[in-house]
Amino acid sequence: MSLAHPSLTRPGLTRRHLLQGGLALSAFGLALSRLPAAFAQDAEARLLTAGPGEARLLEAGQPATRTWLYDGVSPGPTLRARQGEEVFVRLVNNLPQPTTIHWHGIRIDNAMDGVPHLTQHAVAPGESFDYRFTVPDAGTFWYHPHDRSWEQVARGLYGLLIVEEPEPAEGIRDFAIVADDWRLGEDGQIDEASFGHMMDWSHAGRIGNTLTLNGQDLLEILVRHNAYMRLRLCNTCNARVLELRIEHPGIQLVALDGQPVEPRELTDGYIRLAPGERADLLIHFYREPGSTAAITEVSGGQRLEAGRFVYHPADRVIHHSEPNLRLPANPLPTNLDLGNALSVELLMEGGAMGNLAQAMHEGEMKDIRSLVGAGLAWSINGVAGMTEAPLFTAALGRTVTVDLVNDTQWPHAMHFHGHHFRVLERDGKPAESEAWKDTVLLDRQERAKIAFVADNPGKWMIHCHMLEHQAAGMTSWFVVEA
C-alpha cells in the first residue's frame, strides 16, 4: 500500500521551485539569526499575541495568504532563553476561538504545559495567560497551540523556542529553518473547506501542497566560504513526514529533538523529520566562493527545491581558532532501571485500511460507523480519544518502558509530553541510535520499545503528532506521581 502524498505544487502554479539557477542574492542576516535575548531579567512578561494576519508565502506577484500568526509573523517569533533561565511569556488571544501554548519538548513544570482540560483552561478570545517556567535543557524546541491544533497549526501558529548553552559556541553561525506544508487553494488562501475532512483524518492527515521554509517560497541563505553553521530544523507540518536533502557534503547531525547526539555524518545530506521533530546539523561551508547548495524535499516523489545556500562570490571567513563543535550534554535522567521498569503496551489501531471494528469512546463501546460519525478513526488500547483514567501512573523516579505497536497502515509520530525517552528497540531489534527523543516515528505496522525515567510529576499527554490523528482519537495521557 503506498502512502498518498500529493505533490507539493498547487495545480495551475508554475514549477519555479524545480532545480534551476539564476535567482538574485538576498541579503545577509536572514530573519532567524541572533535575535536579541527574548527575556528580560526583571521578570517582565514578553507578550506573544495570537491573532489573524497575512503572510507572503508565495512568490512575488501572488496574493498574500490570510493566516493566524503569533505577533503577525510567519513563523512566529523565535524566542531565545539561556539554559536554566526562566521564560515568561504572556499569551494574548486575539483569535476567534480559544487557544493555549504547548512548549514542545521542554521538560516543563506541568502547570505550564498548555494542554486544555488537563493542565489549564483554554484561553478564551480576548483573554491572556501567563506562561512562566524554567528551561532545563539547551537545544531546539518549539511552541504551538494545543487546542484545535489541527486547525490552529495549519493556519500558521507556531514558532521556535531556542535554549542556548551557557557558553554558546564561538565562530559558529546559528540559523534555524521552520518547514511547513500549507494546503492552499488556487487563490493562494488556506483551504478551509477541507478542515475536518474524514478523508484526511482517517488517512495520512492534512498533507499540504505548498512547502515553505521560514514562511518563504524559496528560502535563500547567503553564506561565506569556510563558515560554520549550526542549522536547526523543525518540522511544523500537520502531518507530512519531511524528507529533506541538503546538497552539500560533510553535514553532521549533532542533536535530535533538542538533545545532543554523538555527531555523525548524514548520508547524501538526507534527513527524515516527522511532524514535531527537530534536528540540529553542523555544516562547514568549505566549497568555493560562488557555489550553491540546494535544500530539496523529496517526500512527494519529486525533487522540489525549497531553499538554497548561496556562497558569497568572494568573501571568506577566517577562524582564529578551531570552533568547538561539541554540544554539552543536558541534565536528563539517563539512568534507566530496566530491571524494575513499569512496562506498558500502547497499541495503535484504526485508520483507513485498518481493522478497527469498535472502540471505547467516552465510556461507551462504539462501532466504527458511529466512531466515524463522531469524527474518530483511531484508538489507543481500544479507546478513541481521552479517557477519565490515565493510561498508566508511574511513581516519581520510576523507569517506564512503553511497547508501541503500530497496527495500522499509516505512519504515526508519537509524542510524549514532559519527558525525553530512548528508543531501545525497533521491531524487536536493538535500535542503533543513542538519541533522547520526545517524538518517535513509527512506520506502518512497526513496533518500537522506548524507555524513560518518569521524573517530572503531573499529567502528561501521549499523542500522535499527525494532528488529525490526534484529533480523531490517537491520544492518551499518563500520570507521574508527585
Q: Does 461 bind ligand C2O (CB under 6 A)?
A: yes
Of 415 and 459, nearer to ligand C2O (C-beta) is 415
Please say whether the beta carbons of 4 and 203 come within 8 A.
Answer: yes
Query: Least Å distance between CB 234 and ligand C2O?
Result: 10
Q: Does 242 bind ligand C2O (CB under 6 A)?
A: no
Query: Least Å distance between CB 184 and ligand C2O?
Result: 23
Among 112, 463, 473, 474, interactor with ligand C2O by CB under 6 A: 463
To which residue does cell 524546541 refer? 141
Q: Does 415 bind ligand C2O (CB under 6 A)?
A: yes
Q: What's the Cα-to-Cα distance from 95 to each of 45, 126, 151, 343, rounded to whole Å?
A: 20, 8, 12, 42
Name the binder of 469 from Cu ion, ligand C2O, none, CB < 5-8 A by kind. Answer: Cu ion
Name the binder of 310 from Cu ion, ligand C2O, none, CB < 5-8 A by kind. Answer: none
- Residue 314 and residue 451: Cα distance in Å, rounded? 50
Site for ligand C2O in 71-100 (CB under 6 A): none
Of 213 and 413, nearer to ligand C2O (C-beta) is 413
To which residue does cell 467516552 refer? 362
Name the binder of 466 from ligand C2O, Cu ion, none, CB < 5-8 A by kind. Answer: Cu ion
Q: Does 102 bind ligand C2O (CB under 6 A)?
A: yes
Of 68 and 309, nearer to ligand C2O (C-beta) is 68
Query: Least Å distance between CB 325 and ligand C2O?
Result: 28
Query: Least Å distance between CB 414 and ligand C2O?
Result: 10
Query: Least Å distance between CB 380 and Cu ion?
Result: 10
Name the binder of 412 from ligand C2O, Cu ion, none, CB < 5-8 A by kind. Answer: Cu ion
Q: Does 419 bind ligand C2O (CB under 6 A)?
A: no
Name the binder of 206 from ligand C2O, Cu ion, none, CB < 5-8 A by kind. Answer: none
Site for Cu ion in 394-423 (CB under 5 A): 412
Of 246 and 256, nearer to ligand C2O (C-beta) is 256
Nearest to 474 by CA among 343, 351, 345: 351
Q: Does 441 bind ligand C2O (CB under 6 A)?
A: no
Query: Least Å distance between CB 416 and ligand C2O?
Result: 9
Q: Does 394 bind ligand C2O (CB under 6 A)?
A: no
Reduced 3-state DSSP string for the chain: CCCCCCCCCCCCCCCCCCCCCCCCCCCCCCCCCCCCCCCCCCCCCEEEEEEEEEECCCCCCCCCEEEEEECCECCCCCEEEECCCEEEEEEEECCCCCECCEEECCCCCHHHCCCECCCECCECCCCEEEEEEECCCCEEEEEECCCCHHHHCCCCCCEEEEEECCCCCCCEEEEEEEEEEECECCCCCECCCCCCCHHHHCCCCCCCCEEEECCECCEEEEEEECEEEEEEEEECCCCCCEEEEECCCCCEEEEECCEEEEEEECHHHEEEECCCCEEEEEEEECCCCCCEEEEEECCCCCCEEEEEEEEEEEEECCCCCCCCCCCCCCCCCCCCCHHHCEEEEEEEEECCCCCCCEEEECCEEEEHHHHHHCCCCEEECCECCCCCCCCEEECCCEEEEEEEEEECCCCEEEEECCCCEEEEEECCEECCCCCEECEEEECCCCEEEEEEEECCCEEEEEEECCHHHHHCCCEEEEEECC
Q: Does 466 bind Cu ion (CB under 5 A)?
A: yes
Query: Least Å distance between CB 215 and ligand C2O?
Result: 19
Site for ligand C2O in 260-279 (CB under 6 A): 276
Query: Least Å distance between CB 371 and ligand C2O?
Result: 22
Provide the 10 A C-beta neighbour count for residue 259.
24
Q: Does 146 bind ligand C2O (CB under 6 A)?
A: yes
Q: Which stretch binds ligand C2O (CB under 6 A): 22-30, 131-139, 395-403, 457-465?
A: 457-465
Please say whether the beta carbons of 417 and 442 come within 8 A.
Answer: no
Name the binder of 146 from ligand C2O, Cu ion, none, CB < 5-8 A by kind. Answer: ligand C2O
Q: Strand 304-316 and strand 292-297: pairing?
A: antiparallel
Number of residues that bind ligand C2O (CB under 6 A): 10
Q: Does 241 bind ligand C2O (CB under 6 A)?
A: no
With CB atoms as reference, the residue minimizing the distance to ligand C2O is 104
Binding track, positions 41-60, relative to ligand C2O; x by CB under 6 A? --------------------
Query: Least Å distance between CB 142 and ligand C2O?
Result: 7
Residues at the interface with Cu ion (CB under 5 A): 412, 464, 466, 469
**Residues engaged in binding ligand C2O (CB under 6 A):** 102, 104, 144, 146, 276, 415, 417, 461, 463, 465
